[in-house]
Structure 1
Amino acid sequence: MKKVLALSAAALLMTGVYAAESNVQVYGVIDAAVTGYKVKGQDAMLEFTSGFSMGNRIGIRGREDLGNGYSVGFDLEQGFLLDTGAQFNTWSKDGVVQNGAFNRQSYLDVTGPFGKIAFGRMVSLSGGTGDFNMAKWSPFGIGYGVASFIGYTFNQSRVNNALAYVSPSFDGFKVQAMYSNGTTTDDEKWSHNDHYYGIGAMYDKGPLNAELIFETLDNKSSEALKPAYVISAGGSYKFSMTKVFFGYQYGTQDNKRKQHVILLSSATPLAGGTLKFGGKLLLGKLDGKAKKAGMEDKYNSWNINAAYEYPLSKRTYVYGFAGYADGGKLLSGTASLKASGLPFRANMVNAWQLAVGMNHKF
């Protein structure tokens, strides 16, 4: 019996050593809610929503220590819809939906004293999620339906064929840069692929977090579309009890539109949970062609939202949400985003939205 116990202990020890060396982890998020919404002039609706507060995902990440401060790591992450099991975060190539195995992000990186260099499929610097996201401007993130800070923006959320650099932190300050050799494909010559460029600076120390990001998408694959440019700034400050968030984004595209997005929100501990409150203001103007054609060329929207999250454990919380969005005529036709592939109506206008759900991380 002693020999058996000794062999078992040795096997467990060897397993622990191997796990420490390889450091491979399976992780994920499972989120679901019952949501109700009412768009002006339409019937009230009640439905099951997958990934309401946070997108569902399953991933595999790992890192190997090469010594002398260097390491190699990877992350392979897939999005899915809980109600159907279908893949999510797919992308299109030549009009055909691509159902790859790891659509949220998939990259390999080398880390050392110089910082980190990674290549693969990634989320853009202001995309709101992923390991290279710098946009930390709202406690709602890109979830919570109408509260999502992604709405009518110019964000190129995920890019293929990407190369990213993250500098070391210098007393809380660091720089990030990202380039895509073709946001959907790079199998054509360079001048026929769409390219993404992004550079940003972040300061994160003590109670203050702040970011400034510049991004552009050149749209070289289309003669009809001009390059789009986006400047984003934001961050947060932690007071004694409440954490306050602020964000601003300006986007312009010569043959499309110009717009401003302003965000203000907060997160406050309350009764063992967290109360989140915030709003968004959007002001935009279409290019001159609309006005010449006698069409309305200005658009706007605003929304106000509140959510409460209560932890059942370190990895599970339940939540409730209420939000209202109001918008002008040009946006009133965007109430349903089902056609866009989103699992929720992120940009409803002239509508209210309620939700009760649960989130579990593993």
Structure 2
Amino acid sequence: MKKTLIAAAVMATSGIAFAASNVTLYGVIEEGVLLEKAKHADTTVQLRSGFDQGSRWGIKGVEDLGNGYSVGFILEQGFSADDGNVANAGNGTTSGFTREAFMYVNGDFGKFGAGRTGTLASGAQSNHILTGWALGTGLGLSSWTSAIGTSFSRTNNSVVYATPVFSGFSVHAMYSNGLATDTDKWSDNSHYYGLGVKYQANAIRSSLIFEAVDNKATGTDAVKVSDLFTENEFKALGIGAVWAANKDRVIKEATGKKKAIYTINYGLEYNLGSWTPMFAYQFAHQNSGRRTHMFGLSAKVAVGGGDVLVGGRYLFGKDEAKDVGANKVAVDGDVRAWNIGAAYIYPLSKRTALKAYAGYADSGKEWKDVENVAYNGYQVYLGMRHSF
């Protein structure tokens, strides 16, 4: 009897262990020293958490449903290693799982999921497919998603679908029913749309991505006196004004909805063994009147047991924005920008790596006086990343 009970206990324990083995606790901590200077601004030296890879912790799990089907989830929280505060807040998400809160189903049909996640060209989270830029979307002014370009980071209320891979090709579609919330009627929520094709076979990786945000939630109605006060509250002010004559007076004018933002990103990589040359391109048409073309050439090269990442890009086009950069420069006309950057990542182990980076940015025409290191300035970084 005792042996039976012991055997049952062992089986129960092993069953629990087997279930738990499908759930993983993981994370990344990156901390370093960043020296930077923007044009017309002071030089600063600071501790910087997540300069390249955002510091985060997360839980992910997968359950096999049989017959080729499985269900999984990802819950991921960003934080600052400097002070322990929440990081990656945005679109109304300020606590909880700010980086990703996503559930999905895999099967012969492909992958379908829903929740908060990164957009197709964001370079963030489990659904992005961006290729073609060796310096990625993290290294400061060299990030493909830095301020000079156009990008969408993470969206709430999203559904994502990816087809199975056919001869190296897969199609990816994403829709957000409301970037922050979707509690209003459809026409009052801002929506994200993404459609992309990815190719990966042999030595080639490539992607072509179209994205748009319709900005439907950006307009505001006029504010009237009657929106702020009831008749009795107004009369209680004792200002002697007649309610009937003033209740429809406009305190704040209405603002029109911003126009939609469109982007196209194309990337190509060719792995030659010890080094991988890359090409990237972006066309962007923004609501502020910015219409730009951005080209990037970069490479990843194996050197001394680590990887050297080098890249340069050039942007040209037009901008009609009222407040660009920290000094809120108003621009209306042609813009130019270029930057170069180089990084060296050396692994101390499978989980720990040293990182060094330097980058320089310079802009002309209407952007020449923008006080932002992504437009005009330089950065030097030295740090360490540990994964668990």
What TM bracket, shorter-length normalisation? 0.7 to 0.9
Question: Does residue 1:171 correspond to 2:167, yes or no?
Answer: yes
Residues 308 and 320 in structure 1, CA contact (< 8 A), matched pair in contact too: yes
For 2:367, what is the secondary structure of its paired residue? Answer: helix
CA shift, 1:333, in A, is 5.4
What is residue 239 of structure 2 aligned with on the other side? Answer: none
Q: Judging changes above 3 Å, is the alpha-carbon distance between structure 1 residues 29 and 289 closer, same or farther for their aligned structure 2 residues?
A: closer
C-alpha contact (below 8 Å) 1:80/1:86 kept by paired residues: yes
**Cα contact 1:36–1:355 (8 A) shared by 2:** yes
Q: Which residue of 2 aligns with 1:111?
A: 106
**CA apart distance, 1:298:** 1.4
- 1:17 deviates by 2.4
Contact 2:334 2:365 (8 Å CA) reproduced: no
Q: Please point out which of 190, 194, 219 is paired with 2:190.
A: 194
1:138 maps to 133
- In structure 1, the residue corresponding to 2:144 is in which secondary structure? coil
In structure 2, the gaps of 5 or more residues are 220-255, 324-329
Contact kept, 8 Å, 1:53 with 1:140, in 2: the verdict is no
Higher mean displacement: 315-324 or 251-260: 251-260
Per-residue deviation at 1:287?
4.5
Post-superposition Cα deviations, 1:245-277, rounded to whole Å, max 9, x if no partner, equal 211110113652101111111111111111111
Tell me the equivalent position of 2:244.
none
| Residue 18 (structure 2) pairs with residue 17 (structure 1) | yes
Larger Rg over CA atoms: 2
Match of 2:73? Answer: 74
TM-superposed deviation, 1:319? 1.2
Cα distance in 1 for residues equivalent to 2:78 and 2:143: 18
Q: Which residue of 2 aligns with 1:343?
A: none
CA distance in 1, matches of 2:280, 2:310: 14
* Superposition pairs of residues 34-73 of structure 1, within 5 angstroms: 34-73=33-72
Secondary structure of the corresponding residue to residue 17 of structure 1: helix
For residue 224 of structure 1, the aligned residue among 257, 265, 268 is 257
RMSD: 2.3
1:243-262 alignment runs, 5 A limit: 243-253=276-286, 255-262=288-295
Structure 1 residue 175, shift from structure 2 partner:
0.3
Q: Is the 8 A contact 1:254 1:287 kept in 2?
A: no
Q: What is the aligned partner in structure 2 of residue 340 from structure 1? A: none
Contact map agreement 2:321 2:331 (CA 8 A) in 1:
no
SS at match of 1:191: helix
Which position in structure 2 is the counterpart of 1:317? 353
* 1:285 aligned onto 2:318: yes
Q: Alpha-carbon deviation of 1:116?
A: 0.6
Contact 1:149 1:280 in 2 (8 A): no
Paired with 1:215 and 1:198, the residues of 2 have a C-alpha distance of: 4
Q: CA deviation at 1:328?
A: 2.2
Would the aligned equivalents of 1:267 and 1:275 in 2 still touch at CA under 8 Å?
yes
Asked whether 1:182 is paired with 2:178, we answer yes
Distance in 2 (CA, whole Å) between partners of 1:157 and 1:137 is 18
Structure 1 residue runs without a partner (length 5+)? 337-346
TM-score, normalised with respect to structure 2: 0.82
- Amino acid of the structure 1 residue aligned with 2:363: G
Identity %: 40
Q: Show CA shifts across 1:119-145 (max 9, x none).
A: 101111101111110112222211111
TM-score (norm 1): 0.88
In the alignment, the residues of structure 2 paired with residue 90 and residue 288 of structure 1 have an alpha-carbon distance, to the nearest angstrom, of 25
Partner of 1:142: helix, strand, or coil?
coil
Shift in Å, 1:296: 4.5
Distance in 2 separating the partners of 1:52 and 1:295: 29
Which residue of 1 is the match for residue 203 of structure 2?
207
1:320 Cα deviation (Å)?
Answer: 1.0
Identify the range of structure 1 (44-53 vs 59-68) with the bigger mean alpha-carbon deviation.
Answer: 44-53
Which amino acid in the other structure matches residue 118 of structure 1?
Answer: G
Alpha carbons 2:331, 2:367 under 8 Å: kept? no
Deviation at 1:9, TM superposition (A): 6.9
- Other-structure match for 1:339: none
Q: Which amino acid letter does the alignment assign opposite residue 65 of structure 2?
A: L
- CA deviation vs aligned residue, 1:50-90 (integer Å, no higher than 9, x gap): 10121111111101111000111110111111101111111
Equivalent pair of 2:196/2:208 in contact (CA under 8 Å): yes
- Cα distance in structure 2, aligned partners of 1:288 and 1:145: 23
Question: What is the rounded CA distance, in whole Å, between the counterparts of 1:49 and 1:203 in structure 2?
Answer: 35
Residue deviations 1:21-49 (CA, integer Å, cap 9, x gap) = xx110111100110112333333221111
